[in-house]
């Protein structure tokens, strides 16, 4: 038998979540953000399951190429734009939309002599201070875009939120107000919202929402799971028990001996570790599911294996399936234990894990 570490991708959950995003943003078109291999769920399968979206958002031309190779002719947006003049011919050949967020990119388009059309999304910095033109330059940037002969179609004006997951904070409303004020005189479509804004900032939905995490059933809102917003997790990470051993009281378990049995323990060894993408920093006590019952990890997660306490589950035996996260064990809880967010965990599943669909 092959190694039992598996990621099961629930394509019906992806479709449910897309419908849920549409229900929450009924007046908006939906860009399904599928960067980082579909947040670790597998780009081609995600693109196929989310074929009902109005566009895909990616971070690299290589990812767009993979989507085109599936036969999809859907609109695809390069969310960080392009990096050198030669990219423009690839963008045209693959019929991609590109974000333009910086003077250097605008200059490359101005110097470009190919008359074939380009579709642009022009990004402004409204307060995140990562990518985007200064809003104070909005008029000048818009004039230069209008002057481009290859950009006859009006661009989509966009910005990105830094704190839209904080529904009570003023930061997002401030960003919206700054964006609106600076672009007041410009016609055309607008795109502001990521998943958290789809969930918490209806006034920011506008023409296009850009949803990533929500489509995979993930929450970025602290203390909440995707299920709290009616979303369904699209990934289950599972493996099996490959050993069940008795550890006497006073003995330490695993590397570094950091966990010491305070009573005799029945310890299960699961064939899954940080080499599969499970966070090594998850401390003892992080839950897994065995036969639907919770069991805590004990000791350090190692590369291929991890130990769990089965003392309260006398029926558990070698070969039993173990769930590391999934619909009945929110990945948000594992992420919280590991001091990170769910996105990093699903993105971090490694290539040796077998991917299956249901």
Ligand X SMILES: *Cc1c(COP(=O)(O)O)cnc(C)c1O
Q: Which is nearer to ligand X, 167 or 255 (CB)?
A: 167
| All residues at 6 or more sequence positions from 297 whose CB lies less than 8 Å from its CB, including other chains | 282, 283, 284, 285, 286, 287, 288, 306, 307, 308, 309
1 marked as part of a ligand binding site: no
Residue at token pair 């489509």 = 215
- Residue 270: CB atoms within 10 A of its CB come to 29
Rounded to the nearest angstrom, the gap between the alpha carbon of residue 242 and the centroid of all alpha carbons in its chain is 31
CB of 267 to ligand X, least distance (A): 37
CB of 256 to ligand X, least distance (A): 35
CB of 156 to ligand X, least distance (A): 12
Element (H, E) at 18: helix 11-24
Q: Which is nearer to ligand X, 226 or 268 (CB)?
A: 226
The per-type count for the chain, helices as H runs and strands as E runs, is 11, 19
How far is residue 142 from each of residues 108, 120, 147, 205, measured CA to CA in Å?
A: 16, 11, 9, 22
Residue at token pair 């904080």 = 166
Residue 305 per-residue DSSP state: -
35, 39, 274, 343: which one is catalytic? 35
| Rounded Cα–Cα distance for residues 106 and 257 (Å) | 57
Residue nearest to ligand X (CB): 212
Sign for the CA dihedral angle at 185, 191, 194, 199 comes to positive
Please, is 288 exposed, middle or buried when counting C-beta atoms within 10 Å of its C-beta (0-12, 13-18, 19+)? buried
CB of 268 to ligand X, least distance (A): 34
Beta pairing, strands 287-290 & 293-296: antiparallel
Q: Could you confirm whether 255 is annotated as catalytic?
A: yes
Binding site residues, ligand X, CB under 6 A: 33, 35, 79, 160, 194-196, 210-214, 220
Q: Which is nearer to ligand X, 164 or 239 (CB)?
A: 164
Look up residue 70 and give its two tokens. 């599936």
CB of 322 to ligand X, least distance (A): 28
Q: Which is nearer to ligand X, 33 or 306 (CB)?
A: 33
Q: Which is nearer to ligand X, 195 or 297 (CB)?
A: 195
Q: Which residue numbers are catalytic? A: 35, 255
For the annotated binding site for substrate, the residues are 130, 303
């Amino acid at each position: 038998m092959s190694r039992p570490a598996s990621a099961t991708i629930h394509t019906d959950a992806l479709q449910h979540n897309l419908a849920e995003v549409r229900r929450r943003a009924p007046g908006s078109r939906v860009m399904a953000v599928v960067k980082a291999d579909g947040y670790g769920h597998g780009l081609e399968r995600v693109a196929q399951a989310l074929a009902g979206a109005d566009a895909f958002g990616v971070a690299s031309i290589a990812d767009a190429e993979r989507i085109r190779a599936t036969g999809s002719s859907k609109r695809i947006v390069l969310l960080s734009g392009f990096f050198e003049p030669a990219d423009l011919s690839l963008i045209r050949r693959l019929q991609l939309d590109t974000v333009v967020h910086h003077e250097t990119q605008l200059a490359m388009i101005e110097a470009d002599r190919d008359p074939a059309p380009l579709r642009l999304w022009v990004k402004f910095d409204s307060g995140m201070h990562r990518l985007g033109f200064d809003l104070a330059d909005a008029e000048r940037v818009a004039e230069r875009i209008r002057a481009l002969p290859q950009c006859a179609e009006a661009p989509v004006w966009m910005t990105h939120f830094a704190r839209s997951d904080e529904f009570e904070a003023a930061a997002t409303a401030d960003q919206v107000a700054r964006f609106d004020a600076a672009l007041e005189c410009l016609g055309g479509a607008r795109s502001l919202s990521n998943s958290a804004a789809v969930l918490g900032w209806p006034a920011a939905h506008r023409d296009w929402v850009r949803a990533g995490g929500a489509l995979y059933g993930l929450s970025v809102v602290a203390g909440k799971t995707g299920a709290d917003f009616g979303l369904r997790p699209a990934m289950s990470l599972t493996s099996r028990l490959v050993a069940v051993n008795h550890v006497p009281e006073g003995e330490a378990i695993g590397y570094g001996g950091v966990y010491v049995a305070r009573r005799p323990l029945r310890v299960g060894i699961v064939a899954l570790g940080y080499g599969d993408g499970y966070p090594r920093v998850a401390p003892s006590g992080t839950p897994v599911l065995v036969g639907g019952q919770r069991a805590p990890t004990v000791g350090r997660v190692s590369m291929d294996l991890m130990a769990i306490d089965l003392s309260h589950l006398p029926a558990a035996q070698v070969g039993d399936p173990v769930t590391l996260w999934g619909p009945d064990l929110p990945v948000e809880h594992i992420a919280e234990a590991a001091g990170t967010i769910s996105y990093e965990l699903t993105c971090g599943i490694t290539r040796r894990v077998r991917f299956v669909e249901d």
